[in-house]
Structure 1
């Protein structure tokens, strides 16, 4: 059984009304409208979201590859959230060889990954190189004081500013920005301070 640390979402160890759990479920439901074909859930964690995507998108997806760097977590995900369409694998999101290992995808989902990584550039390069032309990337991260600045979380390298996050996707043909506050995900409204951003990018 995985241990709940306050960072990794493990629904079996959390109350149904836990705010963190509800926020993560909302992101997966939001992203379910953007998946089709061959799908990657990069940094899938305990696997609840990968299974959720497979159930919601069973008529639109062919295969879902769910990847996390921790072998214990992947073993838990495979046992607890098994689904015929989901293939759980243990890989590093910043491995330069990841595109060769996993291949190409019609849609890539990666939630709350960026802030954990030292090698942001390699991670973003992997995402782009694994996405098919016309494919969709849905990526989220919490906002903070900016790149290279302390953010108060022992689990995060740093947390980007809104402007830094918005500037991550110049190579994509189309980028739509959404922002989340609680379970509400919406385009930005003036005067509202959002703790987290979600980019929906088309290659």
Structure 2
């Protein structure tokens, strides 16, 4: 049991470090002032993108996490988003790594981000694929690492516990995010495309393809 737990921890650590590293490369080096939403303890900001910006304002709603943020160019701020607690057109870049699926008002977040970016600013997001092929693979993985979890069906049902609507990406918007176990990324992509221009979507970890993937990296320009 212990060896299995250690192996799982190593796998998860490798998964998260690889995701953050590749996402940082996706962001590139835009420079200027960055807003990072939902920074947690600031690992992504301090270890992966601190050299890419003059200043990073790292926003996190949980006090115990924001107090752990430590970096010379990183300014930690305890606040929830939306709304974004800054003035109109304050940032050159906004990043949100592993965050949007936890925000209740996604559309409000996209509007607030758009308003907070300067006229040539860009936003970068990671979006989990929790329905369709990607969601199915994540579901299998979750069952594999913790088959005794009572929230997961027993036996063969754990491999097929998807409704037709879920597989077709038709989960109602009001039931996604924290109120539904499958996250429907299509709603957020629609919001981004409706508000921003020049939207790029890249699959991860298989960048050249759209599916099968676990995550989408998304970038969008305000201008």
Q: Normalising by structure 1, report the TM-score.
A: 0.73
1:179 and 2:203 equivalent? yes
Structure 1 residues 130 and 158: alpha-carbon distance in aligned structure 2, compared to 1, 3 A threshold: farther
**1: distance between equivalents of 2:10 and 2:213?**
24
5+ long unaligned stretches in structure 2: 1-8, 132-170
**2: distance between equivalents of 1:20 and 1:157?**
21
1:87 and 2:39 equivalent? no
Q: Which one has a larger percent helix, Structure 1 or Structure 2?
A: 2
1:111 Cα deviation from its structure 2 partner: 1.3
Q: What is the total number of aligned residue pairs between the two structures?
A: 173
Question: Does the 8 A contact of 1:28 with 1:49 survive in 2?
Answer: no
Partner of 1:10: none
Partner of 1:194: 213
Question: Does the 8 A contact of 2:91 with 2:116 survive in 1?
Answer: yes
Structure 1 residues 116 and 158: alpha-carbon distance in aligned structure 2, compared to 1, 3 A threshold: farther
Structure 1 residues 106 and 53: alpha-carbon distance in aligned structure 2, compared to 1, 3 A threshold: farther
5+ long unaligned stretches in structure 1: 1-13
Question: Does the 8 A contact of 2:21 with 2:48 survive in 1?
Answer: no
**2: distance between equivalents of 1:117 and 1:196?**
17
Q: Which one has a larger percent strand, Structure 1 or Structure 2?
A: 1
Structure 1 residues 133 and 141: alpha-carbon distance in aligned structure 2, compared to 1, 3 A threshold: same
**2: distance between equivalents of 1:121 and 1:149?**
15
Pick one of 67, 80, 84 that aligns with 1:75. Answer: 67
Alignment of 1:45-194 (within 5 A): 45-57=40-52, 61-77=53-69, 82-95=70-83, 98-100=85-87, 104-145=90-131, 146=171, 147-149=173-175, 159-161=183-185, 163-169=186-192, 170-181=194-205, 184=206, 186-189=207-210, 192-194=211-213
Question: Does the 8 A contact of 1:116 with 1:156 survive in 2?
Answer: no
Q: Normalising by structure 2, report the TM-score.
A: 0.67
